[in-house]
Amino acid sequence: MNNDSRERMVQAASELFLGGSFHKIGIAEICSVAHVNKGTFYHFFPSKISLLLEIIDRYTGAVAEQFSNVAKSALPPAKKVSGVFDVPQERNTAWQAEYGSASGCFIGNIILEMAATDPVVRERAEKAIERLTRTLQPIVDEYLRSLKVEGADVPAIAELLMGMIQGAQVQAKVHNDPAVFSRYAACAPSMLHAAVAVPA
């Protein structure tokens, strides 16, 4: 059995889970979309959960790379803070163009569906959010330095930025409007600056 079959299953499940829900999508449907049989599925994945965990890792890696690209770009520091919202906006816009609705965040969707019932998935999702938050820290640090802010809790401010991104994901999905990200992007720099000024 070749890796092409494996990749087709990962791709099929990624789209099915994002477009529907983990619990509503069965292995048979994944196999049908990927054009493989159940024997092939179980050759590569012992369970649907194991497939989901790989998808979470891949999604996290892809988004982390996009955030890192923003950090490495030639944009001014404040534009980098705003620029991280382009990542989910582009993803939601592409999904909406293909399927008619904003997708939200894959990890966020899974957390809402499964965090209370599956500790393994919750822990993997937690690690994913932590990894993405770490990729935002260089952007936050550069921005605060540009404002001559010293002694700021960069990890905490990066966590705030991640919270804003996740909030925008929910709003975009609720309103089926990826333009929500632009509104968050416009106010993100001033909100981060204000957060530093709040007394402990």
List C-alpha distances in Å: 95 to 28, 32, 90, 183.
24, 21, 9, 19
Determine the pLDDT at residue 200. 52
Write the CATH number for 76: 1.10.357.10
With respect to residue 51, please indicate whether it lies within any of the assigned structural domains.
no
Q: Do 87 and 178 fall into the same domain?
A: yes
Q: Do 165 and 89 fall into the same domain?
A: yes
Write the CATH number for 35: 1.10.10.60
Determine the pLDDT at residue 20. 83
Q: Which residues contact 140 (CB under 8 A, 6 or more apart)?
A: 81, 154, 157, 158, 161, 192
Q: Do 63 and 150 fall into the same domain?
A: yes
Provide Rg for the chain, Cα atoms. Answer: 18
Q: Do 12 and 83 fall into the same domain?
A: no
Reference 84, options 190, 196, 162, 174; nearest CA is 162
User: How many angstroms separate the CA atoms of 37 and 107, rounded?
Assistant: 27
Q: Do 173 and 191 fall into the same domain?
A: yes
Q: Do 75 and 11 fall into the same domain?
A: no
Contact between 180 and 171 (Cβ < 8 Å): yes
With respect to residue 192, please indicate whether it lies within any of the assigned structural domains.
yes
Contact between 16 and 29 (Cβ < 8 Å): yes
Q: Do 42 and 81 fall into the same domain?
A: no
With respect to residue 177, please indicate whether it lies within any of the assigned structural domains.
yes
Domains in the chain: how many in total? Answer: 2
Q: Do 71 and 36 fall into the same domain?
A: no
Instruction: List average pLDDT for each run of 10 residues in the chain, which is 200 residues long.
Output: 87 93 93 95 96 97 98 98 98 95 94 91 96 98 94 95 97 97 98 79
With respect to residue 97, please indicate whether it lies within any of the assigned structural domains.
yes
Q: Do 96 and 154 fall into the same domain?
A: yes
Q: Do 20 and 116 fall into the same domain?
A: no
Q: Do 125 and 160 fall into the same domain?
A: yes
3-state secondary structure of 146: helix
Range of the domain at 117: 56-197
Q: Do 104 and 179 fall into the same domain?
A: yes
